[in-house]
């Protein structure tokens, strides 16, 4: 499923029509904040898992 330029323009037009021009920046900011929080949580989980793996490796070598 490829989205081309005409489809993208139609989506933008519909978003402006439904939400209004003032709400679009607010929506973008909220989406950006949510993405940052998701990436931070993902990184925290990966860091926690890697620290547990390193602890397990050091315990198995001893």
- Domain ranges in the chain are 5-54
Looking at residue 12, its pLDDT comes to: 87
Please answer whether residues 24 and 16 qualify as being in contact, where contact means their C-beta atoms are separated by less than 8 angstroms.
yes
The token pair at 19 is 């939400």
Element (H, E) at 48: helix 23-61
Q: How far is CA 8 from the centre of its chain?
A: 20
Looking at residue 62, its pLDDT comes to: 56
Please answer whether residues 39 and 31 qualify as being in contact, where contact means their C-beta atoms are separated by less than 8 angstroms.
no
Please answer whether residues 44 and 36 qualify as being in contact, where contact means their C-beta atoms are separated by less than 8 angstroms.
no
For residue 55, pLDDT beyond 60: yes
Q: What is the pTM of this model?
A: 0.58
């Amino acid at each position: 499923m490829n989205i081309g330029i005409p489809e993208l323009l139609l989506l933008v037009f519909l978003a402006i029509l439904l939400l209004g021009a003032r709400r679009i920046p607010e929506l973008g900011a909220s989406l950006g904040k949510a993405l940052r929080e998701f990436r931070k949580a993902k990184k925290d989980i990966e860091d926690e898992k890697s620290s547990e793996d390193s602890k397990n490796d050091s315990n198995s070598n001893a």
